[in-house]
Amino acid sequence: MTSSLTELRPPPPPTRPPIPSRRASKRPSTAGYWVAAVVAALGLTAAFLWGAVGITNTQDRVDSFARLAIPGATTVSVSDPGTLVVYHESAAEVARSAEPTANGRIATTRWDPGTRTIITVRYPSDAPTWQQLGLSVTGPGGAAVPVATYRSSARYDLEPGRAGRAVATFQATTAGPYRVSAARASEAGATLAVGQDIARSLVLTRLGVVILGLVTVLVAVLVAVATYQARSQTLR
């Protein structure tokens, strides 16, 4: 007698139909690129205007400085006590030569309006010291005011073809007239200007412009990259 065992297996589950892929119509738009372009344009324009306004305001302050010919004297009326700076103004250098001079410094040139030629002048940082100019300051009460060398670097341009460099400072501790005089001339046509320190405003303006420009570029790049990544993921 023979027998057989039949293995009973459950039927296979029904096959589900494949899920249709999303259509390409749902791909993110390119609006992010336009946003990045607008951010870059507005931010860089604002940085440019900031710099232009800052330079204009500084130039207006320079134009309001009290001035004296060298040798000579002038009276500066101080209403807000503080630190005042003395600037030496002379013909501005307009170009540089590539070859160093005998002392290892790069020579500079400037435009001579009298002869209408470009002549070589000394290195621009060799502005005369206040001791060489015989600079002295007298306060409202007639007492001598101590003068100190300007330790930082501040330079501005004048029109036509003149530049100023800070050479000395003094403290105007009280309001009133201060007499500033220079006994010895450094070069023909040079003058002295007395006013506030412009270095801080120039540094803040430049720093603000650079920071605003960098932040603008960074934000624009991030928006553009995020848009690109979002559009790329829909193709996978």
Domain boundaries, the chain: 70-195
pLDDT per residue over 112-158, tens digit each? 444 444 444 444 446 789 999 999 999 998 999 999 999 888 888 87
| Secondary element (H or E) of residue 86 | strand 82-91
The answer to whether the CB of 59 falls within 8 A of the CB of 156 is yes
Identify the residue whose tokens are 């630190």: 83
Closest C-alpha to 174, from 136, 142, 134, 201 = 142
Instruction: Using alpha carbons, list the distances in angstroms from residue 173 to 80, 83, 141, 168, 224.
Output: 9, 8, 11, 16, 55
Closest C-alpha to 133, from 64, 78, 86, 199 = 86
Question: Would you state the pLDDT for residue 159?
Answer: 67
The answer to whether the CB of 162 falls within 8 A of the CB of 94 is no
pLDDT per residue over 75-121, tens digit each? 999 999 999 999 999 876 443 333 444 444 444 444 444 444 444 44
pLDDT per residue over 3-42, tens digit each? 555 556 666 666 666 655 555 446 678 888 899 999 999 9
| Encoded tokens for 58 | 């500084």
| Encoded tokens for 16 | 């589900």
Instruction: State how beta strands 93-100 and 147-149 pair.
Output: unpaired
DSSP SS3 for 109: strand
φ/ψ of 190, rounded to 5, equals -75, 150
Peptide bond into 128 cis (omega under 30): no
Q: Is the dihedral of CA 84, 86, 89, 93 positive or negative?
A: negative
Residues 6+ apart with CB under 8 A from 95: 108, 109, 110, 118
Peptide bond into 177 cis (omega under 30): no
